[in-house]
Each structure stands twice: as C-alpha cells, then as structure tokens.
Amino acid sequence: EHLNRSELREVADVYALSVRGYDDVGSERLKCPELADEWTEALALPPDDQASIDGLAAASGACSKRLRSEGVDLEGYNWREVAADVRDLALAEDLGSVTVAAGSYLTLPAVSFARSNPDMANALLLTNPIPPGQSAVAETTRTTSLALGHLNDLCRSEPRCSSRFGDLTPLVHERVERADRELRTMSVESLDGDGPFDVLLDGLRVGGALETSIRATEQLGLVPWSLGGASDELLASVSIHDVATAYIRPEARAGAHLSFSCSYEAQPVTVAEVYSGDNSDFAGAQDFALPDMCHAWGVKPRILEFSDPLVGDVPVLVAEGALSESGVNDWGDEVVELIENPLVVRFDTMSSDLAYDPPPCLRELRKEFAVDPASVTGAAKCETETPEIDWVLG
C-alpha cells in the first residue's frame, strides 16, 4: 500500500522502503530492450512454443551480458539484500525496534530480518505471505485451479450465481477448448494501454487470463460471466498483462525482475506435469519461458538461504485473501507455524490485492496490533466483514 494511504501513520512514524531495482535511483539501467523486442514477437506465438522460448532465453542472456559489461552487479538484486536494506534503514534512522509490514514476496526479507535481528523486530504485519522456501511461480497452474475451485464454491453458494452459471469447471474447459479450436491473432493493447501488440489467443492464454483476473478482488464477480461473455480481445489483453508489465512497457525493469525471480524461485514443475491431471485447463498460468530465461540470466540461486522458517516470540499478524496464492495454499498458517499465539485473519471473498484495499476493520486491527499486539480484539468479527462479491449475471 502507498505510504500516503497507510492507516499506520495514525499511530506511528512510518517509513517506506523502495525495493532496490524498482526505485527511481539508477533503475533506468536495468531495462532490457532485448527482451522487450523478443517478447513483443513472442506474443503472436503459443506460450509454450520452444523456438520462441529459445529466443527469449537468448535475449535474456544478451541483456545479462550487456548489463554486466556496463558494471551492473546483477547479484545485488535479491531478497537477502532487501532484508539488509530493512536493517540498514532502521539503523540509519536510529529507530530501535521496528514493526515491519510486508506482503507476498516481501514476506521473505521481512522474515529474514526478524530471524537475523530478533532484538530489532518488534512485530510483523504480513499480508498474503509467501513462506520461506515456497514459490508462487513453481506451481501457478495448481494454484489457479485451487482459486477457481474456491470461486466456484462461492458462486454455487449464492443462489443467483448458481442458477445462472452452475458448475464453473466445465465452463472453463469449454472456453479453453474453444480458443484452441478457433485460434485467432488480434491486435490489442495491454490493460495499462501499452501496445498495440499482435496476440495469438489460444487455450493457454485463456488460462493465463483467468489467473490474472482471479488476483483482483473487484473482478471476481466478472469471472463466471467472462467464460462465455468476454470478447476474445478482452481475454487477449488480460492474458498479456504480466508480460507487458515485467518486460515490455517503457517503465519495465526486466533486469530487476529477472534477478529477483531467478535468484529465488524453486524449480518450476515440468511441462509434462503442467499438462497432466485436472489442472491442464489452467496450464497457461505457468510461465513456460522463465526456467530457460533464468538459466541464461545466470545469477546465483538463493532459495536455500530463505528456506528457514520463522521462529521465536515475535508477534505476527497475518491477513490473507482466500483466493490469493497464499490463501489457497494455506501459506498464512504455514508462515507462523512455529510462532506462539499468531493472529491470522482470513477473508473468504478477497484475493491477492488485499494489501491495497483492505476492509476497514482490518485497518483498525493493524493499527491496534502496531501499538500493542497483545491488546487486539475483534479478529473473528472482522473475518465476517469480508465484502460480498458483486456477481455479473450478463
């Protein structure tokens, strides 16, 4: 959440730490035009096209080689360095013990900071955490399938949605199969207005579009309708959002993205595993190119450095959207498994954007926790205040 919107400012001095590589200081040099060009061409091909993946890997290697020749230390952009940045900020400002608020992958440096500096960690406020040693990228296909399953349960428990759509599972399968039967290449812009790009819409990109849509709480009510009502152009635009953001748009810092991703990610599942079992309709959620791109990028893998669990008596408040990657994998409980008396608050109808638009009661809980973790009340009631999904029935 942006510093200016944080409720924590009402009860404490708040410092925002920009993640190195994505700030305004020197990050321009981390652009990769080689990858922007290659990805632009790749959008017109199937996401699992091996020749396209080979081209992306070659472009990744070329950018890595160029940046290193220009004096850029690609090993300087990883979660270990961010944990050190948290410590250095606290020391530089003479803050003493601090409460760290973080979410998703930033859980990793927050936990590392608390483990390495127990006297400096007053408390942790974690939103949709990724536990040490876990990878959101490794099994995106499975995670998307679980999220759709939960959304399906929510739809079937609401009479209007259930009557209109029934079981969403066959609707997903039909939409994916139709895209594969009726392959179309169309010119579309990304969700942020970049482009236009020539995009091949196939079943894989439909699966990728679903994964992107489920991450946004306010879009959940549109997902059942989109399986039959959304235009091909809209699905194509949604499907390329992550690629455009990470690699193509003018603001993209592909060098930072690859150094962080490739230095941490666990080995992704194999292509055969992606296509096997009940999850194959969501295969497009997987990043087929990342393993080869990371091999070419050439930074040291550091996942083992971040695989030790959080231990000790640091107070921890975890907030989790049930449809987020954290929620469907029960990662909120996992990250505090060895902590005494953690507070875990779960919102059944919210997703990955919980940190940016939390229910008002969660803002109050976070303020209370930051002041005195032992005094917090009302967590169970707050869970019942998860927003209703506004189902679009068409």
- Could you tell me the two tokens for 239? 């499907």
With 0.85 as the threshold, say if the pTM is over it. yes
pLDDT at 135: 86
Asked whether the predicted pLDDT for residue 180 surpasses 90, the reply is yes
pLDDT digits (tens, 9 = 90+) for 264-299: 875 555 555 556 666 789 989 989 999 999 999 999
pLDDT tens digits, residue range 43-69? 999 999 999 999 999 999 999 999 999
pLDDT at 311: 86
State residue 4's pLDDT score.
65
DSSP 106-169: THHHHHHHHHH-TTTEEEEEEEEE--TT--TTTTHHHHHHHHHHHHHHHHHTSHHHHHHH--HH
Residue 139: pLDDT band by 50, 70, 90 thresholds?
confident
Distances (CA, A) of 324 to 151, 288, 353, 383: 11, 21, 8, 15
Q: Where are the domains of the chain?
A: 3-22+80-132+308-383, 140-297
**CATH top-level class of 3-22+80-132+308-383:** alpha beta
Residues 76-99, mean pLDDT to the nearest whole number: 94
